């Protein structure tokens, strides 16, 4: 059975996403299409502009049959953690094919690089260490280490290693690496992306990046959205923003700065990713800046990028300790949280439910029934609680910044069902 799996954030859903979905369907001719989607907090280390239920609604309108949530613990991590959690989820959902976007569409090269990244040959690790020591960011250090490794082992070749370093290719590489690590039978495919890189802040017409589109929304340029966002996405986006507001890192400024200003240097070490003097930088910058963007600028170095620092702030907010993150890396997702489905998606979910070995969560309250949860053979209750609690926190914190400020946010939400 052909089941197409996609890893998405849809923050917000735009023409580029629609193009990718259509091409992916053409390529794999699936009976069912499943998406694993970031929840209220996304891989940029920020809140999504509209909440996960609204984005799931858009995904269903776009033609996805089943939308499940990537647990927060994976969704706010770097490409490696994000890809691992996503692929693991799709593998649990018995997906047969994954199609990701890439700048190069050179799947062969990416697979080769993924193999090196997973197998970690000695020479590669040594070069990685050397480049990391020079102070560049991890993605760059890895790119240079891969280049060195290939040059030394295959002196006759000249693969375009630059290609592998764009943000989408990094994710692609990590998807491939995750498939290898998990020994998954998922078949990977890539489609060349149309238009702007997803970080590109400039408006590029019908294929603008999500970043550029969010900026348009925040500037109130809702008419121009029509050029770059499908009607159904624009409709839901504007409805949500009208009712609840557009949520940004800025919305959370007082909470985040207050948190940073009450965290002392020696507390940081326990949280995932706080390495080499970051504790001192965080303490100093929390004291000496007054806004969250000033804070991020203050902490930023060549090695520690803006996005990486935002993710660290999220690790602090959601109390993701080293141990908790590593547990999740090792044990994988402990449940499938369903955000939305149509009839086809619902039927598919029923068909795989029995062999899942993990609880399906369609309403938050189910996650509190620990005796039921622990009856699933695949569940480690400690890790389940670590993951599920963060999803609840994510929803509760996010809800705080939505207009109307709904209490019990997560408990009152149900799976989005789309007819037909």
Residue of the chain from 115, 134, 153, 264 that contacts its own copies (CB under 8 A): 264
Q: How far is the CB of 71 from its own copies (least distance, A)?
A: 16
Q: How far is the CB of 288 from its own copies (least distance, A)?
A: 5
What is the C-alpha to C-alpha distance for residues 40 and 276, in angstroms, rounded to an integer?
A: 30
With binding defined as CB under 8 A, does residue 287 bind its own copies? Answer: yes
With binding defined as CB under 8 A, does residue 318 bind its own copies? Answer: yes
- Residues that bind its own copies (rule: CB under 8 A) add up to a total of 32
8 is in an annotated binding site: yes
15 is in an annotated binding site: yes
With binding defined as CB under 8 A, does residue 396 bind its own copies? Answer: yes
Q: Please say which residue, 167 or 321, places its beta carbon nearer to its own copies.
A: 321
- Tracing tokens 């940029």 back to the chain, one arrives at 44
Q: How far is the CB of 291 from its own copies (least distance, A)?
A: 7
With binding defined as CB under 8 A, does residue 222 bind its own copies? Answer: no
Which of the stretches 170-178, 282-290, 302-310, 321-329 binds its own copies when contact is defined by CB under 8 A?
A: 282-290
- Tracing tokens 């993990």 back to the chain, one arrives at 358
With binding defined as CB under 8 A, does residue 67 bind its own copies? Answer: no
Q: Please say which residue, 349 or 361, places its beta carbon nearer to its own copies.
A: 361
With binding defined as CB under 8 A, does residue 252 bind its own copies? Answer: yes
Up-side HSE of residue 193: CA atoms within 13 Å toward CB? 22
Q: How far is the CB of 245 from its own copies (least distance, A)?
A: 13
198 is in an annotated binding site: no
With binding defined as CB under 8 A, does residue 36 bind its own copies? Answer: no
What is the C-alpha to C-alpha distance for residues 332 and 84, in angstroms, rounded to an integer?
A: 8
Which of the stretches 137-145, 150-158, 163-171, 311-319 binds its own copies when contact is defined by CB under 8 A?
A: 311-319
189 is in an annotated binding site: no
Which residues of this chain interact with its own copies, rule CB under 8 A? 252, 254-255, 257-259, 261-262, 264, 286-291, 294, 317-319, 389, 392-393, 396-397, 399-401, 405-408, 411
Specify binding-site residues for ATP. 7-20, 101, 168, 193
């Amino acid at each position: 059975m052909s089941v197409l799996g996609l890893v998405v954030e849809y923050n917000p859903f735009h023409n580029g996403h629609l193009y990718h979905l259509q091409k992916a369907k053409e390529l794999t001719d699936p009976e069912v299409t499943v998406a694993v989607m970031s929840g209220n907090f996304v891989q940029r280390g920020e809140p999504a502009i509209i909440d996960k239920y609204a984005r799931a609604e858009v995904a269903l309108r776009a033609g996805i049959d089943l939308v499940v949530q990537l647990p927060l613990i994976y969704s706010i991590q770097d490409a490696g953690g994000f890809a691992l959690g996503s692929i693991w989820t799709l593998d649990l959902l018995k997906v047969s094919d994954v199609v990701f976007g890439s700048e190069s569409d050179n799947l062969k090269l990416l697979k080769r690089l993924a193999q090196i990244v997973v197998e970690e040959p000695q020479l590669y690790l040594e070069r990685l260490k050397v480049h990391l020591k020079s102070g560049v960011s991890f993605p760059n250090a890895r790119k240079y280490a891969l280049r060195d490794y290939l040059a030394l082992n295959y002196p006759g070749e000249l693969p375009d290693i630059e290609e592998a370093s764009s943000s989408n290719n990094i994710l692609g590489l990590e998807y491939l690496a995750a498939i290898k690590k998990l020994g998954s039978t998922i078949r990977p495919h890539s489609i060349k992306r149309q238009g702007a890189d997803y970080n590109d802040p400039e408006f590029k017409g019908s294929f603008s990046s999500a970043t550029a589109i969010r900026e348009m929304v925040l500037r109130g340029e809702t008419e121009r959205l029509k050029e770059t966002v499908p009607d159904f996405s624009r409709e839901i986006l504007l409805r949500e923003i009208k009712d609840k507001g557009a949520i940004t890192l800025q919305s959370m400024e007082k909470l985040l700065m207050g948190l940073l200003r009450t965290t002392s240097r020696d507390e940081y070490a326990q949280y995932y990713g706080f390495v080499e003097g970051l504790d001192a930088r965080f303490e100093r910058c929390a004291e000496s800046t007054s806004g969250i963007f000033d804070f991020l600028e203050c902490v930023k170095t060549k090695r520690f990028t803006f996005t990486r620092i935002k993710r660290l702030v999220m690790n602090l907010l959601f109390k993701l300790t080293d141990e908790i993150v590593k547990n999740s890396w090792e044990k994988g997702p402990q449940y499938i949280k369903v955000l939305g489905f149509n009839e086809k998606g619902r039927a598919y979910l029923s068909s795989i439910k029995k062999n899942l070995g993990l609880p399906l969560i369609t309403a938050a309250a189910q996650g509190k029934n620990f005796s039921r949860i622990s009856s699933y053979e695949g569940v480690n209750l400690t890790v389940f609680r670590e993951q599920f609690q963060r999803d609840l926190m994510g929803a509760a914190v996010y809800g705080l910044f939505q207009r109307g400020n709904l209490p019990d946010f997560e408990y009152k939400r149900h799976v989005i069902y789309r007819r037909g």
